[in-house]
Amino acid sequence: MKKWKQKAIVQKAISFLPFSSKINYIFQKYVTKGVNLSDEYFYDRLGHAKEHIKGFKKHIKLTPKTCLEIGTGWYPIVPISFFLIGADIIYSVDISFLTSKKRLKTTLEMFVKANEKGQLIEYIDIIPEKYNNIISLLNNYDKYSLKEVLQNLNIVYLIEDAENLSLTDNSIDLVNSNNTFEHIYPNTLIPILKELRRIVNKQSGIMSHFIDMSDHFAHFDKSINIYNFLQYNDKQWKWIDNSIQPQSRSRFSDYKEIYSKLNIPISEESYRDGNIDELKSIKLAEKYIGNSIVETAISHCHLISVMSQIDN
């Protein structure tokens, strides 16, 4: 049995258990090795932070003061990046509290390591005072509670339904996500995007979202390509998919259609072309047949929405 199928079976089983998120963390840490903070993952997220900030400054000409990230996960790399450039408050919205004091320390140490190598400046223009705050935190880390560490970093976790956030209208300068939307099915993503549209500042705010549309099992099992999951119909995929790490299998055109229906502008779009030959090697499920093969092959995209461009 292929490794991806083994993982799918285990995660499916875990999804039915109490404390499934914690159990999945243990499974991925000790079996799949998928939750350790690698240099590759750190710099990938740092690259996302760079593009979020770049997009905001291009269109708004300022530094965002209020930020919100959907689905931060175990390591708050992007929120800490926003702290280092001078954001006053950074909200992180997640379905459960996935970070910890230890994982937060690991993240901060990676920032220090990147700065000492002279690499951090390639991604973000840090404010020296903010960086010194991180050094001070690390030097006295054991003295602080997790809550105090987060307060010092201007990070506020909101463990709540992203369809019904506790934030007020027009209160956020920069809303972002990083490879999160692909884990949300359209019937849930649509109300979430409506809610994000509500809270983002319509005069001086943007939304910036990275979406990874590849089969995430292929990240773990190199014997399959990134389009492997497109061969299954919805009924078959329902049996394979799980609530721990769901994959909607939505394509680039699907996201653009959702944005259009919700009157959310796509002010900038960028994407990876994907590999058409690899896509052709898969016998596609009927729902994908007849679509543009070029758009179906797109594996990653970045969508920026300047909210002042909303067509009223």
Tell me the pLDDT tens digit for each residue of 56-108: 999 999 999 999 999 999 999 999 999 999 999 999 999 888 889 999 999 99
Degrees to nearest 5, angle at CA 111 with 107 and 112: 115
pLDDT in tens, 31-55: 565 668 999 999 999 999 999 999 9
DSSP classification of residue 235:
H
Q: Domain range holding 159?
A: 37-213+250-309
3-state secondary structure 240-297: HCCCCCCCCCCCHHHHHHHHHHCCCCCCEEEECCCCHHHHHCCCCCHHHCCCCHHHHH
Sequence-separated (6 or more) residues with CB below 8 Å from residue 264? 193, 197, 207, 305, 310
Look at residue 14 in the predicted model and tell me its pLDDT: 76
* 67, HSE (Cβ side, Cα atoms, 13 Å): 32
Residues 176/208, Cβ–Cβ less than 8 Å: yes
Give, in order, the Cα–Cα distances in Å from 223 to each of 3, 29, 153, 217, 247.
Answer: 9, 21, 41, 10, 19
The domain that holds 144 is classified in CATH as 3.40.50.150
* Per-residue model confidence as pLDDT tens digits over 298-312: 999 999 999 999 876
The answer as to whether 48 is a domain residue is yes
User: Rounded to an integer, what distance in angstroms lies between the CA atom of residue 67 and that of residue 134?
Assistant: 19
In a domain, 68, yes or no: yes
pLDDT at 140 over 70: yes
Arithmetic mean of pLDDT, 268-281: 95
Q: Is the pLDDT of residue 151 over 80?
A: yes
pLDDT tens column, 183-238? 999 999 999 999 999 999 999 999 999 999 999 999 989 999 999 999 999 999 99
* Chain mean pLDDT for the chain: 93
> Residue 36: its pLDDT value, please?
81
**pTM for the whole structure:** 0.94
Does residue 3 lie within any of the structural domains? no
Kindly state whether residue 245 falls inside one of the protein's structural domains.
no
Whether residue 224 is contained in a domain is answered as no
Task: Tally the domains of the chain.
Answer: 1
Find residue 207's DSSP bridge partners.
175, 305
pLDDT digits (tens, 9 = 90+) for 8-29: 888 878 776 676 666 666 656 5
